[in-house]
Chains A and B, each alone.
Chain A
Amino acid sequence: AQKITQTQPGMFVQEKEAVTLDCTYDTSDPSYGLFWYKQPSSGEMIFLIYQGSYDQQNATEGRYSLNFQKARKSANLVISASQLGDSAMYFCAMRHNQFYFGTGTSLTVIP
């Protein structure tokens, strides 16, 4: 059974605009973590942001924020003030007994 779903294979955003990348997950375990990674064309998987299932507030890291809606089992990544260097693949992942990755969203920032 697929644990993590990313329904947007590709997204485009204008430079300096905000963009939301969708992620939904499936688990019956009360304790889990949600992660977002960025993978530029160079290949490195860069950790962006973490949200724990018991965290009361949405996680934020600089221009990245995670819109965590537990009842809807969604963990969308919001990137504010997009930059050209944000063009990359973005993977949502969940951890409870092991790590599960979504299929990824390819983001292109247009000048």
Chain B
Amino acid sequence: DTEVTQTPKHLVMGMTNKKSLKCEQHMGHRAMYWYKQKAKKPPELMFVYSYEKLSINESVPSRFSPECPNSSLLNLHLHALQPEDSALYLCASSHNHLAGGLARNTQYFGPGTRLTVL
């Protein structure tokens, strides 16, 4: 089973709202990722969690706050977003985040959350 689930599928929020995106995997993976993707562009890495600890933050604004409650779950808390934050937010997981080109480091993606900020 290589399934990563994400909720909600679509989200519309105002600039003063607080909302959360959720991601779940049951593949026993110990690395989880948040990506932001604009239309017709490749995904941009936002955060990496490795063994439930924040490993990489790609200089993401503080209005995005990640959380990893356990090895299967990853949340992205949103607050005071801007219209330019409207995008597809993708969650992914892999066996681990170690360097090297091993097959087990394949990242498996969820279906994404399409976020619109009004």
Tell me, yes or no, whether A binds B.
yes
Verify if A58 is at the interface (C-beta below 8 Å from B): no
A45 to B90, CA, bound (A): 8
| Residue of B whose beta carbon sits closest to that of A42 | B111
Residues of A within 8 A of B105 (CB): 33, 95
B114 near A43 with CB under 8 A, answer: yes
Verify if A12 is at the interface (C-beta below 8 Å from B): no
A44 near B110 with CB under 8 A, answer: yes
* CB contact under 8 A between A35 and B106, given known A43-B88, A43-B114, A95-B101: yes
B103 near A33 with CB under 8 A, answer: yes
A31 near B101 with CB under 8 A, answer: yes
A44 near B45 with CB under 8 A, answer: no
List which A18-54 residues lie within 8 A (CB) of chain B.
31-35, 37, 42-47, 50, 52-53
B103 near A50 with CB under 8 A, answer: yes
Q: Within the complex, which residue of B90, B106, B111 is in contact with A47, where a contact is CB–CB below 8 Å?
A: B106
A99 near B107 with CB under 8 A, answer: yes
A32 to B42, CA, bound (A): 20
**Can you list 25 A-B pairs, Cβ within 8 angstroms, ordered by A?**
A31-B100, A32-B100, A33-B103, A33-B105, A33-B106, A35-B106, A43-B90, A43-B112, A44-B110, A44-B111, A45-B43, A46-B109, A47-B2, A50-B103, A50-B106, A52-B101, A91-B42, A94-B101, A95-B105, A96-B100, A97-B99, A98-B56, A99-B107, A103-B42, A106-B40
Known: A32-B100, A101-B43, A104-B40. 11 other contacts (CB 8 A): A33-B101, A35-B106, A37-B109, A44-B109, A47-B108, A50-B106, A52-B103, A96-B99, A98-B45, A103-B42, A106-B40
Please give the residue numbers on chain B whose beta carbons come within 8 Å of chain A beta carbons, in ascending order.
2, 40-43, 45, 56, 88, 90, 92, 99-103, 105-112, 114
